[in-house]
Amino acid sequence: MLVSGASFRTIWMSDESTIRIIDQRRLPWHFELIDLRTVAELAGAIKDMAVRGAGLIGATAGYGMALAAREAQTMTELEALANQLIQTRPTAVNLSWAVNRQLQAMRAAEFARRVQVSLTEAENIANEDADACAEIGKHGLEIIRRIAKLKAGQMINILTHCNAGWLAFVDHGSATAPIYAAHAAGIPVHVWVDETRPRNQGARLTAWELREQGIPHTVIADNTGGHLMQHGLVDLVITGADRVTRSGDVANKIGTYLKALAAHDNQVPFYVALPSSTFDGSLRDGIRGIPIEQRDASEVTHLEGLTEAGDLATVRVVSEGSSAVNYGFDVTPARLITGLITERGVCNADESAITTLHPEI
Ligand code: MRU
């Protein structure tokens, strides 16, 4: 997608032993690229959220396994590095999916060929992620077209939570792909962007990428969505997902569940967009089964932003002596979801529909 008019992906190989990423900790204030040359550096980038978002975490782990193939002298060493990558973040299943796909590819080849095999596989994982998001855009566009017909040319208001945009994938995004496709097709769309405390991925990342693509949008405090829905100001909700069970329960950024409840109460369609690499076919009950990441409480007690003088600063927003807890994700039960948009089409959030479209999960 575009950054100051130039086309970028979120991750690429700058040479056979260097992975280049956009440092998302610096956005929206600074656009900086960093190079990752070792598994330790790459694992640190995932853990510290220089890269984040389910699809991008998966693609990064895919490239991480290519670095691991260079570092490991035996299969046991390779498996230990794979484990190090899997431990970085627990909720987005794309991470273990990509690592296991790489291990399978390398196990099927002679050990001496591991570097070449893993490089090819890493590129395949990244390209497939970008292609899947482009397809999600096409399928989601049909949903927006139907609403556009009913609204006869009026603005379509879409609410999204967190960042499931191109920054969360290799390109296009999941939740944002239908929005970009609708804008390109000349359908008037406006996006309500949940700020998404505590890390503010909505305010910092989604707003920035929408602005760069020229999409009308408005950032709202996290608790605003219900009010907007009660007043007919939201036509559609589209969120991303970090892990979806075979029965259609969706883990996504903390606060998603509350938006789904409000949408259900106000008969606003609530769609979840995901590439099929985000399904976890081993689970049915998302609330009991999906591991929910807990991050440092300082992300709740402190906020980062620009001072009037233009310096990046962190301020405390909770008084000393109060404790804080930081759950990164919640689970939205399938019954609250209108449909899932994947690269293969749109389906109901239930086991029969999901496994008909995705029999391999
Ligand atoms: O903690 P993050 O930023 O990695 O969280 C991921 C997200 O941005 C959201 O949960 C998103 O909707 C799913 S990732 C496509």
Give pLDDT tens digits for 76-87.
Answer: 999 999 999 999
pLDDT tens figures, 118-161 = 999 999 999 999 999 999 999 999 999 999 999 998 999 999 99
Of ligand 1's listed atoms, the one at least distance from the Cα of 251 is: 10
CA 68 to centroid of ligand 1, rounded, Å: 25
Helix (H) or strand (E) holding 70: helix 54-71
Name which of 82, 54, 17 is nearest 277 in CA terms: 54
Burial class (CB in 10 A: 0-12, 13-18, 19+), 224: middle
Instruction: Determine which residue's CA is closest to atom 15 belonging to ligand 1.
Output: 164
Q: Which ligand 1 atom lies nearest to the CA of residue 278?
A: 15
> Once rounded to an integer, what is the mean pLDDT over residues 272-300?
98
Give me the DSSP letters along 179-211. Answer: HHHHHHTT--EEEEEE--TTTTHIIIIIHHHHH
- Measured in Å, residue 203 CA sits from the centre of ligand 1 at 13
Residue 205: band (very low, low, confident or very high) from pLDDT cuts 50, 70, 90: very high
Nearest-atom index, ligand 1, CA of 173? 15
Which residue's alpha carbon is nearest to atom 5 within ligand 1?
53
> How many angstroms is it from 113 CA to the middle of ligand 1?
34
pLDDT value, residue 55: 98
Per-residue pLDDT band for 336 (boundaries 50, 70, 90) equals very high
Residues recognised as catalytic: 242
Q: Looking at residue 44, what is its pLDDT?
A: 98
DSSP helix/strand/coil, 348: coil
Q: 313 C-alpha to center of ligand 1: Å?
A: 24
**What 3-state DSSP class applies to 13?**
strand
Domain boundaries, the chain: 2-128, 136-288+331-357, 294-327
User: Which residues 6+ apart lie within 8 Å of 117 measured at CB?
Assistant: 69, 105, 106, 109
Cross-strand partners of 220: 194
The candidate with the shortest Cα–Cα distance to 191, out of 260, 239, 135, is 239
| Atom in ligand 1 nearest the alpha carbon of residue 253 | 10
Separation of CA 104 and ligand 1 centre (Å):
26
Closest residue to atom 7 of ligand 1, CA basis: 53
pLDDT digits (tens, 9 = 90+) for 303-324: 999 999 999 999 999 999 999 9
CA distances from 278 to 118, 268, 295 (A): 21, 24, 21
- Give residue-wise pLDDT tens across range 7-46: 999 999 999 899 999 999 999 999 999 999 999 999 999 9
Residue from 193, 242, 330 to probe ligand 1 pocket by mutation (most atoms less than 8 Å from CB): 242
Predicted local confidence at residue 165, as pLDDT: 98
Give the pLDDT confidence score for residue 283 in this predicted structure: 98
Give the pLDDT score at 268. Answer: 98
Cα(222) to centroid(ligand 1), Å:
15
User: Distance of alpha carbon 159 from its chain centroid, rounded?
Assistant: 16
Provide the CATH topology of domain 2-128: Four Helix Bundle (Hemerythrin (Met), subunit A) (1.20.120)
Report d(CA 191, CA 198) in Å as an integer.
Answer: 20
Average pLDDT on 94-116 reads: 97
* Structure tokens, 172: 């296009």
Ligand 1 site residues (CB inside 6 A) read: 52-55, 162-164, 168, 174, 201, 239-242, 252-253, 328
Cis before 188 (ω within 30): no
How is residue 250 written in tokens?
């969706």
Protein residue whose Cα sits closest to atom 10 of ligand 1: 253
Residues 6+ apart with CB under 8 A from 285: 245, 247, 249
Give pLDDT, residue 60. 98
136-288+331-357 is classed CATH 3.40.190.10 = no
Quick one: which atom of ligand 1 is closest to the CA of 89?
4
SS3 content of the chain, % helix, strand, coil (to 5): 45, 20, 35
